[in-house]
Every structure is written in C-alpha cells, then in structure tokens.
Amino acid sequence: MSFDQSKYVWKNGEMVPWQQATFHVSCHGVHYGTGVFEGIRCYCTDSGPAIFRLYEHIDRWLASAKVYGMHLPYTREQLADAVMQVVAANNFSSCYIRPLAIYGSDTLGLHPRNTPVEVVIFAWKWGQYLGADAAAKGAHVTISPWRKFSSTAMPATAKACGQYLNSVLAVRDAVARGFDEAILVGEDGYLAEGSGENLFLVKDGVLFTNDEKSSVLMGITRDSVLKMAIDTGMQVCIRKLSLEDLLAADEVFMTGTAVEVTFVAAVDGRPIADGRRGPITSVLQRLFADVVSGREPRYRHWLTPVATPVPELNGERVSQCR
C-alpha cells in the first residue's frame, strides 16, 4: 500500500493537492473518532476505470452519518460525482477510494454541537489486503480474545472511525501471534466478523453467513456475493454462526472491499477441511473477479464508469491495469 501516486484530494467541495489535505490538531474527529467513512474500489475494465457499487457505498456513508447525527452538506449525486473526480484527477485506472466525513475544529466537548463537518475523498493504490500469500494460499486466522462490540453499545452497521479501535486491537493481537487476520466473536458467543471483513462458511453445499443480528457491518461485498450465489443457483442460509460451525465447515472465506473474496485456510492452526480453496469459494471468487472487471454483462449495472482525462485509459486502448 502506498500513497506515492496520489496527487489530489477532494476536500470540502474542491480538489486540493495531497499535501494540503490536512486537518487541525483540535479536530473533534481526531480526538474522539467522530467520523464516518467508506472504502470503495475502482477497477480497470475494458472500457476504462469503473467504480464498484458506488451508489451503495455513498448510501451507506450517508446512513452511517445519519446514525451519528452528522450532516454532510452535499447531495448523494454530488458525493458520487466527487468520488469519480478523485479517480480522474489522479489518473488512476484502478484504486481504493476512501471517503471520510469527520467533525472538525470548534469544540472538544464530547457533544459536537455546531462543529463543522469536514468531508474528504481520496484514493490510492491498494493491492492485496492481507498480502499476496494470504490471497494465494489462504488466510490463517485466529479467534480474537477481543469481543466484537455489541450493537447495543455502538451501531455495528455504521462504518464509523472510533468503532474501528475494536478491530485494531483484534488485528494487532492476531498479527503479533503470527496470524493474518482475527475473527471476532460477539458478546452473545456467536461469531461476528473479521477485523475488516464479513465471514462466509460452506457446509454440505450450502452457503452460510450471518447478518446485523450478529453486530456485523453489512458489507457491500457480502451483498454482492450473496446475490451472485443465489443467481448461480446455490443454496444460501443467513443465520447466526457458531465457533463449531466454523471449525466443522467445508469451506470458509471472507469478503470485503479491500480483501475481495479471500479463502481461510486455517483457524488457530486447524485447517479448514484440507486447508485448500474449496470448489464453491473458487466459483464465487472467479465470478467476483469477472464481475468487477466488467466481464459479466449480468452485473454491469454494479459498475459506474469514470471518464478519465487520459484517453488511453478509456476505451479499447487499455492494455494493462496500472
């Protein structure tokens, strides 16, 4: 992951150079994590760069803001347009996009009162989230000693900055113990999700995942995989998942914008089945790759094309993805 190629940031309605996109040390969001954000991917397709499920991400961003009583002074269309402007201004053919709205500088009382909302959108090149090894050989995960916070404590379906301290604790502990990623168990003893991913299991040919009742972020990749699985004729079951379900599963994989579809090879050193990528995971992973790169006409409506100023990034002349 590197910010080297990122040149421009959309900040409060205008494009500014990367170095100028700063906040003051007295920002409310810096102190208390009072912000809401998104993670979106733009993919290189035959017809140029395209953003995957842009409007679903904008809608979730606005819904997260609403839960925290935060008003973004832009319309859904303006924000979607700003995301596209960021991709175009930086000349990216593929990238990861991070929209963020945080309370700015006015008070450090916990109640943000009349604090202005700072809205920024930036993008960078972000390759494989858990590293090339995990993508190829499967992720080695651990059950975190940190519980996932309950939805009665914080709105788990909102993607809010401060809420991620829970994930940071879990992933740091996992990596310190030699694992790629942590799976957090909820306060009710059932599995919640990864530090930055939703969780799927396959048992006897049926695809299982949990939902908001398990205090998970309702992932847009999760939704995409569920729709693809149903369209492919797979049997899908949404219910709470236990540790027992996980250890007895035939296949396990995680989904997220950053991680895409990544299979889990082992949990706390115990291989899932034979520790290799299973057949259902393979089908869904391949289909997802085809969908995001625009090779599946059935799901092309999930891609919003971006007109870039560099002509060779549009149309047939795209020979390789940067």
Q: Which amino acid is at 179?
A: F
Pairing of β 117-124 and β 40-45: unpaired
Q: Which of residues 116-175 bind ligand PPE (CB under 6 A)?
A: 167
Contacts of 34 (CB under 8 A, 6+ apart): 28, 68, 70, 102, 103, 112, 160, 161, 162
Rule CB under 6 A: is residue 197 a binding residue for ligand PPE? yes
Nearest-approach distance from CB 302 to ligand PPE, in angstroms: 12
Rule CB under 6 A: is residue 193 a binding residue for ligand PPE? yes
7, 11, 66, 159: the catalytic one is 159
Rule CB under 6 A: is residue 35 a binding residue for ligand PPE? no
Cβ atoms of 308 and 49 closer than 8 Å = yes
Among 67, 258, 273, 283, binds ligand PPE (CB under 6 A): 258
Among 174, 217, 241, 246, binds ligand PPE (CB under 6 A): 217
Of 93 and 167, the one with the shorter C-beta distance to ligand PPE is 167
The residue range among 217-225, 244-252, 292-300, 314-322 that interacts with ligand PPE, by the rule CB under 6 A, is: 217-225
Of 221 and 281, the one with the shorter C-beta distance to ligand PPE is 221
Nearest-approach distance from CB 109 to ligand PPE, in angstroms: 28
Q: Identify the sign of the CA torsion 169, 155, 209, 234.
A: negative
Nearest-approach distance from CB 41 to ligand PPE, in angstroms: 8
Rule CB under 6 A: is residue 215 a binding residue for ligand PPE? no
- Report the alpha-carbon angle 301-278-283, nearest 5: 25
Of 115 and 221, the one with the shorter C-beta distance to ligand PPE is 221
Of 118 and 197, the one with the shorter C-beta distance to ligand PPE is 197
Cβ atoms of 156 and 216 closer than 8 Å = yes
Rule CB under 6 A: is residue 257 a binding residue for ligand PPE? yes
First to last CA, the chain: 14
Q: Which among 172, 223, 165, 222 has a CA at the least distance from the CA of 193? A: 222
The residue range among 1-9, 252-260, 289-297, 304-312 that interacts with ligand PPE, by the rule CB under 6 A, is: 252-260
Cβ atoms of 36 and 159 closer than 8 Å = yes
- Report the alpha-carbon angle 201-204-208, nearest 5: 30
Among 104, 112, 186, 196, binds ligand PPE (CB under 6 A): 196
Among 49, 138, 186, 219, binds ligand PPE (CB under 6 A): 219
Rule CB under 6 A: is residue 180 a binding residue for ligand PPE? no
Q: Which among 182, 240, 244, 235 has a CA at the least distance from the CA of 211? A: 240
Residues 107, 187: Cα–Cα separation, whole Å: 34
Rule CB under 6 A: is residue 112 a binding residue for ligand PPE? no
Active site residue 159: yes
Bridge partners (DSSP) of residue 305 are 50
Of 42 and 313, the one with the shorter C-beta distance to ligand PPE is 42
Rule CB under 6 A: is residue 222 a binding residue for ligand PPE? yes
For the chain, give percent helix, strand, coil, nearest 5. 35, 30, 40
Q: Which residues are catalytic?
A: 159
Query: Footprint of ligand PPE on this chain (CB under 6 A)?
Result: 39, 167, 193, 196-198, 216-217, 219-222, 255-259
